[in-house]
Structure 1
Amino acid sequence: MTADPVSRLPGSIEETVSLLGGENYLAGRSLATVVFLALKMKRPLFLEGEAGVGKTEIAKVLSRALGRDLIRLQCYEGLDISTAVYEWNYPAQMLDIRLSEATGERDRDQIEAGLFSERHLIRRPVLQALSPTLGKGPPVFLIDELDRADEAFEAFLLEVLSDFQVTIPELGTIRADAPPIVIITTNRTREVHDALKRRCLYHWVDYPSAKLELEIVRQKVPGCRESLSREIVSYVQGLRRLDLFKNPGVAETIDWATALTELDRVALDPETISDTIGTLLKYQDDIARLAGSEGAKLLAEVKASLSAEA
């Protein structure tokens, strides 16, 4: 007999830390606490923070760790119900109409009932999330970058997040037998309405401390030399204090460490930074700012700080 998927949920904050850590996601206690509560209370988890701090990764990690399917809804301007929720299979419906005509079927109600049935319903991410996979339990439903969607679509989500149901005019209301694990992320390009936030547990995902970021680099890029890892983390932490147009996230730190490891670098120097800065910074104005004395000053501070620690 297959074990009840619900029994695999963590039973404490410490177990949640271990669960995430088992998938190489190092979470602080505050994040682990809100994840544990969201799972325990069956409430959506609303994660805000700068791009690249690991918000989306939380949903992926939970999916793997809990053995659940991951349903991802990537939000963007103009996202509508036919793309996000459902649409009808129009070619198949037209074929049914032609077959009805060919066989002489005249019962209009019967024809219409056949056209607007589950057989012709194309389930998009929202409907998929309301349908648990046999033997796995409710899926992890990632609503990614909600702030990019229109306010009208955000308002539509209120029904989904309140009652975990969707109303289809031709079929009626479809309800989830058990609520999915909902993770909502936003980069705060616009404010999300309070009505939606009230239905969720909230957490701000900040940039990690130097200690935590160093441990992340160790886990994600095990081939990177310890001394180089320390320089990389110290340099990135310094960049975030410069108020750049776009601060590098943890994802960029990992990319940079990977790139320098592939190039067999053992330490940071001005030439190495200049050659590889495109893996770390994504805006020319930020790159140009570091090309002068400010970049040299930061590197000198990193070297001096690490020498003092040694």
Structure 2
Amino acid sequence: MTFIDKDPTTAIDLIKDGFETAGYICDRHIATSIYLSQKLDKPILVEGPPGVGKTELAKAASEILGAPLIRLQCYEGLDESKALYEWKYGKQLLYTQILKEKLGDLLEDAVGLEQSMDKLHQFGDSFYSEKFLEARPLLQALKSEVKTVLLIDEIDKSDHEFEAYLLEILSDYQISVPEIGTIKAKTKPLVFLTSNNTREMSDALKRRCLHLYIPFPDAALERRIIQTRVPELEENLRNQLVSFVQQLRTQDLKKLPAVSETIDWARTLLLLHAEKLDTDLVRNTLNMLLKFEEDIDNMHSEVPKFIAAAQKEVR
């Protein structure tokens, strides 16, 4: 990484510029967190509402660092066999069958039960060894010969028990396999954990991570994001749609429109060759921003007022 040995100010500027080049508008707070994560060898716990760019942050980091992205999508019931490792049972069974067929040859020089058992014990370690280990995302990141970006996505959807499996990795970048021992990271990955705050993370997990909260962007930042992601959209319309979305977020909705939905709406308006917001256009495309019919129905009457405010604001 070209920034890691620079002075802090220069390094943070390089990170910020690198993310922007990759299409991710990264403020100084985020860039500082990335820098500190690398200097302190600490994972980053990224929290915030859905759709504000938490997952995209890890993807952009992978791109600008030229590091492979290894992603673990969390869900309820996720366990170590899907996240860390599991044994290749089919290969072990095949090994057992071969051992059974060769058992006579292996024991032909053994005298008595004790010598036979000693010979058999020589093969115990082979049965549970790394050649029979199926690496899942977390172990893949530790065993990688090159720097990787490890994304543990939506950690809040997993069970409390799963957090315990992560603690050793997050603190020491290693994993203990009972039959083998401790496997340490060959190259420490850059680790991102994302959370939509559907439940509180444990103190033990939080202590091992740098905390980064990404809120909904203000109007100025959201305009920059749209300009970067949908550059073909005319400036006046871009300003109007951002103002409209910002007003929507002040309402009591079941789900506030996220940045990803603002981007989708901008692409929709571009596709429809819109030049400005009007009531029919907005009402016909409001489902790009709002995902619950109740929210859409409640906002229909507010559309003309929001459009008038948006047009007045950008004059």
Residue ranges of structure 2 left out of the alignment (5+ in a row)? 108-118
Q: Following the alignment from structure 2 to structure 1, what is the Cα–Cα distance between the partners of residues 184 and 3?
A: 23
Residue ranges of structure 1 left out of the alignment (5+ in a row)? 1-5
2:110 corresponds to: none
Residue 94 (structure 2) pairs with residue 95 (structure 1)? yes
The CA deviation at 1:7 is: 4.2
> 1:190-209 alignment to 2 at 5 Å?
190-209=199-218
Q: Deviations over 1:131-175 (max 9, x none)?
A: 233xxx321111111111000001221111111111111111101
Aligned residues of 2:4 and 2:38 also touching (Cα < 8 A): yes
Secondary structure of the corresponding residue to residue 143 of structure 2: coil
Aligned residues of 1:290 and 1:296 also touching (Cα < 8 A): no
> 1:151-230 alignment to 2 at 5 Å?
151-230=160-239
Q: Following the alignment from structure 2 to structure 1, what is the Cα–Cα distance between the partners of residues 16 and 56?
A: 15
Aligned residues of 2:283 and 2:303 also touching (Cα < 8 A): no
Q: Deviations over 1:37-92 (max 9, x none)?
A: 11221111111100000111111111110111111111111000000000011111
Runs of 4 or more consecutive aligned structure 1 residues displaced over 6 Å after TM superposition: none
2:307 corresponds to: 299
Secondary structure of the corresponding residue to residue 130 of structure 1: helix
Amino acid at match of 1:268: L
Q: Following the alignment from structure 2 to structure 1, what is the Cα–Cα distance between the partners of residues 307 and 121?
A: 75
TM-score, normalization: structure 2? 0.90
Q: Following the alignment from structure 1 to structure 2, what is the Cα–Cα distance between the partners of residues 89 and 132?
A: 19
> 1:8-19 alignment to 2 at 5 Å?
9=4, 11=6, 12-19=11-18
RMSD: 1.5
Aligned residues of 1:44 and 1:199 also touching (Cα < 8 A): yes
2:253 corresponds to: 244
Q: Following the alignment from structure 2 to structure 1, what is the Cα–Cα distance between the partners of residues 219 and 2?
A: 35
TM-score, normalization: structure 1? 0.92
Percent of residue pairs bearing the same amino acid type: 43
1:42 corresponds to: 41
Change (3 A) 1:78 1:95: same
Q: Following the alignment from structure 2 to structure 1, what is the Cα–Cα distance between the partners of residues 309 and 121?
A: 78
Q: Following the alignment from structure 1 to structure 2, what is the Cα–Cα distance between the partners of residues 216 and 72?
A: 24
2:270 corresponds to: 261
Secondary structure of the corresponding residue to residue 97 of structure 1: helix
1:274 corresponds to: 283
Q: Size of the alignment, in residue pairs?
A: 298
Residue 134 (structure 2) pairs with residue 122 (structure 1)? yes
Aligned residues of 2:3 and 2:14 also touching (Cα < 8 A): no
The CA deviation at 1:32 is: 1.4
